[in-house]
Amino acid sequence: MIQTAGTRGSRRKHIRGANAPSNAIIINARKLPNPYGELGTDPKMSHVEHVQAFLREKCPDKVDKLVATGCKAIRNNQPVVVVCLYGRDRSKAIAQLIGDNFDSNEVYYEHRED
């Protein structure tokens, strides 16, 4: 399982936050650059693909490290939770990049903030 979630806070009470087993690996995408207002407009790309391209351009080493951590956890049969501030952009992009390394039968996504 790869779950995405936002981070609850006093100003973000509507955020559901993570809900994963105690053995889950938490991947924090909050320190990645925020793509808000800086995404491309190519109609052939989905929103997540735009965010992925943005993150790969701005901080490819950090992205690769987070993806490697998630892949290692999945290979060890551990659930993965990717969190960012609101759980909509960076967390979904990183979760998808992790999942792209596996067969679609091996992983499933749970987006808590949809």
Domain ranges, residue 6: 2-111
Mean model confidence pLDDT for the chain: 88
Q: Residue 114: what pLDDT?
A: 61
Q: Does the structure show a pLDDT above 70 at 74? A: yes
* Across 25-29, average pLDDT: 93
Q: Report yes or no on whether pTM surpasses 0.85.
A: yes
Domain count, the chain: 1
CA distance 53 to 36: 13
